[in-house]
Amino acid sequence: MKAPARLTLVTALVALAAALAGCQGKKLNWESMRKKVFGPSTSERVIAVESTSADERREALEAIVKDKDARDVESVVRLYCLVARTDADPMVRSAAVRGLAQLEGDDVVPTLCHVIETDKDPYVRTDAAHALGHHEDAAAVEALLDALQGDEAIDVRVAAAESLRLHKNDRAANALAKALESRDLGVAYAAWESLRHMTGQDLPRKTDPWTEFLASADDPFADYGRGPDLPCPESQRPHFTQGVTDFMRGLFEKDPLQEELD
C-alpha cells in the first residue's frame, strides 16, 4: 500500500473510532466503542431487565433469547418466567412470553398456561397461545383447548386454533372440528387450516365430515404436515376489458358523444 493511501486509511480509522466512542477531543473510551459496535453483552442485557424503562427491559429480553448459549442457562429461563408473570408493562410481558417459546425448563409450560389463563391483555395471551404450540406437553394442549373454547378475544382463539395443529392429539383434532361451527369466521377458518395440516385431508369446512373421519381413521395423523393446497381465491387485481391496442387508442381519441356536445 502506498504511503498516502495508508495514511488516509489510518486517519479514517482513527476518526471512526473517535466518532464511535463519542469522545471528540477527549480520551478514547474503548469500552464505550465496543458497546456501540457490538452492543451490550448478554450479562449486561440481563442487568437491563431491571431497568425502570419498559423499552429497555423489552429490548433486553428480545436480545438475550437470541444468544444460543444463554437459552440453556437455568437462571435465564427463570428470569423469563418471572417477567412473563409479573412485569407491569404488557409489552415486556409479551416479549418474555415470546422468548419462552424458545426456552425449555420445568416452569416454562406452567408459566405460559398461567399467562394464557390470567393475563388481562389479549395480545399477551395471544403470544402465550403461539408459544404453547412449541411445547409438546399435555398441559399445553389443555390450556390451548380452554383458550379455543372460552377466551373472550377472537385473536386468542385464532392463535389457539393455529397452535393446536402442532400437536398430534385426538382431543385437539376433535375440538378443532367443533370449532368449525364458530360464528367467528377467523376462528373457523384457522381450525379448518389446522385440521387439513394435521390430517392431510381435503374435507369441507363443516363439523360432521371431520368428526366422521377422525372417528373412523386408523391413524388420522398418518399424513400429518402434508395438507392439500388451500383454495386460491379469485384475483382482485384489475384486468383489461379490451385489447391493449384498443385501450391505448382510446386514450387519444375523442369520445363520439363528446364530439356531438362540442
Q: What angle do CA 148, 154, 155 make, to 5 degrees?
A: 95
The reported pLDDT for the residue numbered 20 is 47
Q: What is the mean pLDDT of each run of 10 residues along the chain (262 residues)?
A: 54 52 52 58 87 94 92 93 96 97 96 98 97 94 96 97 94 97 95 96 95 95 85 63 65 64 60
Least Cα distance to 205 among 225, 226, 231 occurs for 231
pTM: 0.73
CB 176 within 8 A of CB 194: yes
For the chain, give every domain's residue range.
173-228
CA distances from 61 to 95, 109, 149, 156, 159 (A): 6, 18, 31, 23, 22
At 98, the amino acid letter reads R
CB 172 within 8 A of CB 166: no
CA 87 and chain centroid, separation: 21
